[in-house]
Structure 1
Amino acid sequence: MKMTDIKRPLWAQTTKEMQDYYDNEWGIECHDDRQLFEMLSLETYQIGLSWQTVLNKREAFNQAFYHYDIDRVSSMTDEDVDKLLQNPQIIRNRRKLESTIHNAQVILRIIKTSGSFDNYLWSLSEDFPVVIKVGEDDVLPPKTDLSIEITNQLKKTGFKMVGPVTIFSFMQAAGLVNGRLDNQAQ
């Protein structure tokens, strides 16, 4: 499919960054632990903010968190958080920054027990993406029964800054939920 043939929802037509994000990432199945960690982290930064704000600061977050190298992030300290709080290029919310480090530590434990973060996540959705049929201007629900269920499991596992709305957004971003317009013919 050529990029010009991609059907986009209205939200993905607002800026070039949103268009690129939709065309190349959003709703496309992800099975890479590092990228899944990044996507989860970005969703936690977005809490209370616009997605455009997060995209604008994405590269700075990549720099700040070693391109989401799970081992390196899991080793970051309170001193590192204090330094990050001085960085105007990122969203400077202590709880969000600390949750990134904490969640990296949880992911490392998951990798030891499940083989990968990918295996763990996809097993929560029964290894198949949930397909949602939507139109160009449809608004997806903020959460679903599955996002509530997965949130509860993530919290039991130890994750922080994960609520059903954040997790539903993450599930869409990582392709665990496929609400892309180009899936409508399937």
Structure 2
Amino acid sequence: MQRCMWANKNILNQQYHDNEWGKPVYDDKLLFEMLILELNQSGLSWDIILKKRENFRTAFDQWDYHKIALYDETKKEQLMLNPGIIRNKLKIKAAINNAKAFIKIQENYKSFSNFIWGFTNNEIINNSNTKEEINPSFSDLSIKISKELKVNGFSFLGKTTVYSFLQAIGIVNDHLNYCSFKD
């Protein structure tokens, strides 16, 4: 079985690649989780996020965005003291802010899934990549979505973070052509 090169780094990457990365996600709770994990990955390695993923899930109430939207200063301080997650004040604040914006998107589009998949008319963008170096770090689509998210009150989601998110949730399929998981 052949995988994208990055997936061979360790077992966590391998499991993530084989079972999640690039597979279409329509469930709002999982979309929110991936959005916040990608936000936290900004400036760090994905390995760090995968190692802390379960800690994030526990710290952020199983990704219940309705609860997260109500986090107060006391909860923010608890999160800042939690060594199991990324203790960055701006990222924690962005996660709370984005939970509120996420709920507003759901109210306007019936689901976040409808909103995010609407950018491609529910189509997957299958890129044809023969080498790892060809994968872009952003695209016209990620720029457009990043701007739209900002207009809708989201923060800490620039074009590169959004592109990673689109790859993670399967809107963009950047598996290498030789990868057994391409389709």
TM exceeding 0.5? yes
**Which digits, 9 at most, give the CA deviation of each residue in 1:102-134, with x for residues without a partner?**
111111111111100100110122221111112
Amino acid across the alignment from 1:20: Q
The CA deviation at 1:175 is: 0.4
- The equivalent residue for 1:58 is 53
Residue of 124, 137, 140 corresponding to 2:119: 124
**Which digits, 9 at most, give the CA deviation of each residue in 1:42-94, with x for residues without a partner?**
00101110000111111100000011111111111121111110111111001
RMSD (Å), alpha carbons: 1.4
Q: TM-score, normalised by structure 2?
A: 0.94
Distance 1:108 1:70 in 2: 8
User: Structure 1: which 5+ runs fail to align?
Assistant: none
Distance 2:148 2:63 in 1: 23
- The equivalent residue for 2:71 is 76
Amino acid across the alignment from 2:166: M
Within the alignment, does 1:8 sit opposite 2:11 as a pair? no
User: CA, structure 1 residues 16+183, in 2 after alignment: closer, same or farther (shift >3 Å)?
Assistant: closer
Amino acid across the alignment from 2:82: N
- The equivalent residue for 1:146 is 141
- The equivalent residue for 1:37 is 32
Within the alignment, does 1:25 sit opposite 2:20 as a pair? yes
Amino acid across the alignment from 1:21: Y
Distance 2:84 2:94 in 1: 18
SS class of match (2:44): coil
Distance 2:73 2:122 in 1: 36
Within the alignment, does 1:96 sit opposite 2:91 as a pair? yes
- The equivalent residue for 2:165 is 170
Residue identity (%) = 37
Q: TM-score, normalised by structure 1?
A: 0.92
Which deviates further from its counterpart, 128-137 or 26-35? Answer: 128-137
Distance 1:107 1:69 in 2: 11
- The equivalent residue for 1:135 is 130
Within the alignment, does 1:109 sit opposite 2:104 as a pair? yes
